[in-house]
């Protein structure tokens, strides 16, 4: 575990040594505010909740999180530092976990930095802060899912652009899995049971449940399993392809 | 001890390493020589646990690098080809990261960090990001991480590549001083390096071992081994001298380098013609500008053994 923590610390350090951290946080905060006030019309609705704020999180993450996760392994491959990392005495899963957690913690920090919106809504009215907290937790869990998928796909290439494009597509499919745009592709030729299965894999279904203020064990298990599976697959991919 | 048994690595149609078997004992400094694409780097990557062999096995200090990877890796200090690091970090934070993963802590960590920073003269650049450093410093940062935990086995892929002559000298001296009870494997295509640091040299081409001997042993395979080269003050005499030298029983044949005005006499089997030639020179009263016996030329052995192979 110490090894994973060492990797985590090094990764976090690197975010702040390069412009990545600042660019990401600034763009995330500006976009979140614009979507909330400009598109979601938080003031004009006249309701004391953060509905419009959280509604846009999945779509914001769809582009911003792959931009963060694309470098996780592709950059190591490109620069050759993967050879250094993987010949140090640590298990591959520790490296994968450390990198994933670093990216997740960093994204969580960016999400938490949106707290002025929460202050604003509390100043304007009396929102249900329990629901808001649940939605924040849901948003961070969903970001974790995106990062796990992105990290896994970043491990298959040394090209960050490819990693980004693949991650956006994979995340979009996962986001929209419960909606006709994805289900229509499968329903003509797959039995309904499997189509229902695909529908239940959707991020949005689970995120919407949580952001209504209900933290259901099934939603936690869903994100936990998704992250766990991706970390496992990521480790396998590294084992097969680390030297290519 | 490093024990390689039947190592083979296949990349599609290319067999990068072909059934290599060898052992390296503590105290040995083994130099891998070979043309580019000979399989040196791949072999080192397999030993370091970065590439899995298609067939065969490697054990390091008794630990199999595949099934007991952690035990093996914790005993190996490895400098990958090109000395990759994390360019945005400073040498100090980078070395601290490696120390943490190597399980160095407390007083020992501080001591070792100070030692390697001193050994590789990194004091002045500790707080500068690695990407802003010169090639020589980058290489030394890579070397520093490899020797950080004073490992039993050092695998160094082209450790002096990109260094200036003074830095090369320093690094070779460092490798020699560290090698007393360790196993050191270096790869190089600088042949003088083999003489300078190695006590064993292996020539590899097309993934196979073509020669495995001490540097002196390899030089002995050269046709220049014990050959005598001389130069006359008066170049006009060279032809006459050549005829006299070639007539000696100890001399198999002679060659004249007309541009440099040098005459080289190659020994007949088991002969050392130096004594006979010097006596002849005194008898005939030749005025010599140079006279020396050659120990053998590694580059010539290298070319002969590898047959000019390159990939």
- How is A84-149 classified by DSSP, letter by letter? HHTTSSS-HHHHHHHHHHHHHHHHHHHHHTTHHHHHHHHHHS---HHHHHHHHHHHHHHHHHHHHH
Check residue A244 and give its pLDDT.
66
Residues of B in contact with A89 (CB under 8 A): 70, 73-74, 101-103
Q: How many CA atoms lie within 13 A of B22 on its CB side?
A: 25
3-state helix, strand, coil in chain B (%, to 5): 40, 25, 35
Residue A187 sits at φ, ψ, to 5 deg, of: -60, -35
Q: What is the ipTM of this complex?
A: 0.89
B173: how many CB neighbours lie within 10 A of its CB? Answer: 12
Q: Are A2 and B103 a contacting pair at CB < 8 A?
A: yes
Residues of B in contact with A2 (CB under 8 A): 100, 103
Residues of B in contact with A91 (CB under 8 A): 70
The Cα–Cα gap between B206 and A23 comes to 48
- Kindly indicate the confidence band of residue B295, based on its pLDDT and cuts at 50, 70 and 90: confident
Task: Tell which B residues from 190 to 249 touch A, by Cβ distance under 8 Å.
Answer: none
Chain A: closest CA distance from residue B166 (Å):
26
A138-191 residue pLDDT tens: 999 999 999 999 999 999 999 999 999 999 999 998 888 877 777 788 888 888
Q: Is the pLDDT of residue B150 over 60?
A: yes
- CB-based contact B205:B15 (threshold 8 Å): no
The Cα–Cα gap between B153 and B79 comes to 11
Residues of B in contact with A88 (CB under 8 A): 73, 98, 101-102
Q: Is the pLDDT of residue A87 over 50?
A: yes
State the Cα torsion B236-B238-B244-B245 to the nearest 10°.
170
Radius of gyration of chain A measured on its C-alpha atoms: 19
Check residue B311 and give its pLDDT.
43
Tokens of A216: 């259901």
Q: Are B86 and A10 a contacting pair at CB < 8 A?
A: yes
Give the chain A residue nearest B128 (alpha carbons).
A17
B72: how many CB neighbours lie within 10 A of its CB? Answer: 25
Q: Is the pLDDT of residue B12 over 50?
A: yes
A9-22 residue pLDDT tens: 999 999 999 898 99
Tokens of B238: 């060279």
Chain A: closest CA distance from residue B4 (Å):
18
3-state helix, strand, coil in chain A (%, to 5): 80, 0, 20
Residue with tokens 């604003």: A120
Chain A: closest CA distance from residue B234 (Å):
58
pLDDT average, residue stretch A219-244? 89
- CB-based contact A69:A146 (threshold 8 Å): yes
- CB-based contact B19:B210 (threshold 8 Å): no
B294: how many CB neighbours lie within 10 A of its CB? Answer: 18
Task: Decide if B139 touches A, using CB distance below 8 A.
Answer: no
Residue with tokens 């035990």: B71
- Kindly indicate the confidence band of residue A65, based on its pLDDT and cuts at 50, 70 and 90: very high
- Kindly indicate the confidence band of residue A232, based on its pLDDT and cuts at 50, 70 and 90: very high
Q: Is the pLDDT of residue B55 over 60?
A: yes
Task: Decide if B45 touches A, using CB distance below 8 A.
Answer: yes
- Kindly indicate the confidence band of residue B247, based on its pLDDT and cuts at 50, 70 and 90: confident
- CB-based contact B189:B114 (threshold 8 Å): no
Residues of A in contact with B49 (CB under 8 A): 86-87
- What value does the mean pLDDT of chain A take? 89
Tell me the DSSP string of A41-76.
Answer: -HHHHT-SS-HHHHHTHHHHHHHHHHHHHTHHHHHH
**Inter-helix orientation angle B135-147/B106-119, to 10°:** 140
Lowest mean pLDDT among A2-11, A218-227, B242-251: B242-251
Task: Decide if B102 touches A, using CB distance below 8 A.
Answer: yes
- Kindly indicate the confidence band of residue A92, based on its pLDDT and cuts at 50, 70 and 90: very high
The Cα–Cα gap between A220 and A218 comes to 5
């Amino acid at each position: 575990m110490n090894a994973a923590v060492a990797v985590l610390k090094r990764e976090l350090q690197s975010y702040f040594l390069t412009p990545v951290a600042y660019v990401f946080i600034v763009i995330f905060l500006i976009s979140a505010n614009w979507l909330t006030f400009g598109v979601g019309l938080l003031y004009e609705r006249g309701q004391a909740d953060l509905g419009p704020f959280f509604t846009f999180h999945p779509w914001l993450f769809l582009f911003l999180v792959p931009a963060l996760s694309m470098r996780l392994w592709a950059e190591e491959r490109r620069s050759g530092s993967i050879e250094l990392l993987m010949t140090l005495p640590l298990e591959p899963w520790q490296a994968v976990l450390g990198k994933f957690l670093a990216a997740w913690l960093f994204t969580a920090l960016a999400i938490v930095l949106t707290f002025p919106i929460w202050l604003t809504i509390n100043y304007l009215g009396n929102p249900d802060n329990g629901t808001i907290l649940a939605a924040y937790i849901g948003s961070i869990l969903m970001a974790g899912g995106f990062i796990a998928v992105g990290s896994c796909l970043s491990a298959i290439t040394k090209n960050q652009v490819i990693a980004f494009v693949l991650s956006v597509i994979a995340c979009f499919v996962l986001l929209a899995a419960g909606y006709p745009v994805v289900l229509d592709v499968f329903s003509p030729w797959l039995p309904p049971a499997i189509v229902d299965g695909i529908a239940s894999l959707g991020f949005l279904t689970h995120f919407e449940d949580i952001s209504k203020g209900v933290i259901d064990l099934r939603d936690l298990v869903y994100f936990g399993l998704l992250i766990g599976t991706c970390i496992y697959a990521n480790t396998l991919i590294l084992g097969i392809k680390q030297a290519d | 001890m490093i024990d390689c048994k039947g190592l083979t690595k296949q990349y599609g149609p290319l067999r990068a390493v072909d059934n290599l078997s060898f052992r390296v004992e503590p105290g040995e400094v083994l130099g891998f020589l070979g043309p580019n694409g000979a399989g040196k780097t791949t072999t080192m990557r397999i030993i370091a646990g970065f590439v899995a062999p298609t067939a065969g096995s490697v054990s390091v200090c008794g630990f199999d690098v595949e099934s007991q990877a952690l035990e093996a890796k914790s005993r190996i200090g490895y400098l990958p080809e090109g000395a990759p690091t994390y360019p945005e970090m400073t040498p100090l934070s980078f070395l601290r990261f490696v120390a943490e993963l190597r399980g160095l802590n407390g007083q020992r960590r501080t001591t070792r960090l100070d030692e390697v920073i001193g050994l590789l003269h990194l004091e002045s650049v500790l707080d500068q990001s690695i990407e802003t450093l010169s090639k020589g410093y980058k290489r030394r940062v890579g070397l520093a991480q490899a020797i950080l935990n004073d490992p039993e086995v050092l695998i160094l892929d082209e450790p002096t590549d990109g260094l200036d002559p003074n830095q090369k000298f320093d690094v070779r001296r460092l490798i020699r001083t560290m090698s007393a009870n360790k196993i050191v494997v270096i790869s190089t295509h600088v042949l003088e390096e083999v003489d300078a640091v190695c006590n064993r040299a292996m020539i590899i081409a097309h993934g196979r071992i073509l020669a495995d001997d001490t540097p002196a042993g390899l030089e002995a395979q050269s046709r220049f081994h014990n050959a005598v080269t001389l130069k006359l003050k008066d170049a006009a005499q060279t032809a006459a001298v050549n005829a006299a030298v070639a007539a000696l029983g100890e001399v198999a044949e002679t060659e004249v380098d007309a541009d440099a005005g040098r005459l080289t006499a190659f020994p007949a089997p088991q002969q050392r013609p130096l004594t006979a030639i010097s006596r002849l020179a005194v008898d005939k009263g030749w005025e010599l500008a140079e006279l020396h016996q050659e120990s053998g030329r590694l580059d010539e052995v290298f070319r002969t053994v590898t047959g000019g192979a390159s990939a």
